[in-house]
Amino acid sequence: MNPKILIVTGGGRGIGAATARLAGSRGYSVCVNYLRNRDAAQDVVQKIQQSGGNAIAVQGDVSLESDVVALFETVEQKLGTPTALVNNAARLEQQMRLDSMDAGRLQRMFAANVIGTMLCSREAVRRMSLRVGGAGGSIVNVSSGAARYGSPGEYVDYAATKGAVETFTIGLAREVAEEGIRVNCVRPGHIYTDLHAAGGEPNRVERVKAQVPMQRGGKPEEVAAAILWLLSEEASYVTGAFIDVSGGR
């Protein structure tokens, strides 16, 4: 069987870490990409290795083209040609209204959440596409329920970036469908991760969970399970699709 080699951006925490661990338990060789927290990424790698899996941690800022290229080159050297990509890395900044945001914040947000997703996908396509002799592959983008709700009064910029990711998912899925690459998206709702702390409200899920029909927040592992299904051969006829992991909201 061909080796399964997965890159998870932002893989040292939250949904990314849960995805990396689950993938490692299912036979993937996993690259855990991280921005700053090397210890967290190495902890994920060690857990995968302790369970008999294969994993490496690679630092890189997905908003920088040179870092993205280096990330993929490192994976090729150490693990082999990637067959799967999860675009999970995302930026969130302090909750505020649009009329309090400056251009620097908007540029940082779009650079990490949109341009980063597109750059990583570009490098994946350059290696996976049947057009260039690749063996095909699967890409899963991590969006957010914010793309639908808009996050007014908190972070409309973040919501807008996730809306862009969703549009990109549809376009790329159709662009590479004949080239052996499937592109799908998960749309998490209110999930218990430390991303909320970056917005200034670590316990945000507790405040908003009453809006969820299931009356609870979600776990990163529940999102990871949906991601792994989309990556798998069980989803072989699924592309350009979205899975809401949101408790019914």
Kindly state the tokens that stand for 195.
């991303």
DSSP-derived pairing of the beta strands 242-245 and 84-87: unpaired
Q: Could you give the dihedral angle defined by the CA atoms of residues 219, 75, 116 and 90, in that order, rounded to the nearest 10 degrees?
A: 20
Dihedral pair phi/psi, residue 143, rounded to 5°:
-95, -145
Active site residue 158: yes
Given the residues 28, 34, 155, 158, the one annotated as active site = 158
Helical ranges in the chain per DSSP H:
14-25, 38-50, 65-78, 103-110, 116-128, 146-149, 156-175, 195-198, 204-208, 220-231
Task: Tell me the C-alpha distance between 57 and 45, whole Å.
Answer: 7
Is 245 within 8 Å of 188 (Cβ atoms)?
yes
Residue positions annotated with a catalytic role: 158
